[in-house]
Amino acid sequence: MVLVMDVGNSHTVIGVFRGTELKTHWRIGTVAQRTADEFRALLTSLLREDGLSPEQMRGCCISSVVPPINASLEAACARIFGKPLVIVEPGIRTGIPIAVDNPKEVGADRIVNSVAAVSEYGAPAIVIDFGTATTFDVISARGEFCGGVIIPGVTISAEALFERCAKLPKVDLVVPPSVIGRDTISNIRSGLTYGYSDMVDGLINRIAAELGGTPTVVATGGLAPLIAGIAKRIDHVDAFLTLKGLRLLFERNAKESE
């Protein structure tokens, strides 16, 4: 089995694969101040709760967009598993060319998502990750990561609205029954759901026009189901796309076998 970890700005998603099957997964808050000892206790506890043990793991693959957390997390994994540890960083074998001006500045999660998308859905493709920020990752027909778009995430957009407009109440992200709201709450919900979805569709149309062909559009991330339920250009929602990509990268970079 292989343990994989996707460390995002708000949440960390952890999964365990047996072969190509995702056996179990957990979602925890990302806390940059956690020590190696805290990570070790947390990971050991999560595994044991699901009837697993560190000794069953062949190794671990980690992608992180939170640099302060990396040293503690790597130290914890090395101590727990004592097995191959693959960190998604410049220099690892990805299987896809990074055709941008500065490949080293591309977020690890974006590379992981692109690897998984090409494997699962082929190329060309557009991967939209609805996280703290919403990222659009573009893969050409030749299987190259060729750039993309970054915009504020849905939650960030909502928080900015509530903070800057004192008279507007905070609302849950729920799709209202109609675009035209009849009260303030439904007005806000319409903008945050229908408005955001139309922005996503518009960007997909522009990207596809520049890219050429008919790219497959894959959505992932916590709010992917909400937006994909309204947007017209999203073909697939894959909640575990990033974890699948991490497993693939482990297999391409770790030599140990079962």
DSSP string for residues in the chain = -EEEEEE-SSEEEEEEEETTEEEEEEEEE--TT--HHHHHHHHHHHHHHTT--GGG--EEEEEES-HHHHHHHHHHHHHHH-S-EEE--TTS--SS-B-SS-GGGS-HHHHHHHHHHHHHH-SSEEEEEESSEEEEEEE-TTS-EEEEEEEE-HHHHHHHHHHH-TTSPP------SSSS-SSHHHHHHHIIIIIHHHHHHHHHHHHHHHH-S--EEEEESTTHHHHHTT-SS--EE-TTHHHHHHHHHHHHH-----
Is 109 a known active-site residue?
yes
Superfamily of domain 2-87: ATPase, nucleotide binding domain (3.30.420.40)
Find the catalytic residue in 37, 101, 109, 235: 109
Q: Where are the domains of the chain?
A: 2-87, 103-244
Please determine whether the domains at 2-87 and 103-244 fall in the same fold group of CATH. Answer: yes
Which pTM was predicted?
0.91
* Tens digits of residue pLDDT in 35-77: 999 999 999 999 999 999 999 999 999 999 999 999 999 999 9
Span 94-122, pLDDT tens digits? 999 999 999 999 999 999 999 999 999 99
pLDDT tier at 257, thresholds 50, 70, 90: very low
Per CATH, which fold does 103-244 belong to? Nucleotidyltransferase; domain 5 (3.30.420)
Confidence of residue 256 (pLDDT cuts 50, 70, 90): very low
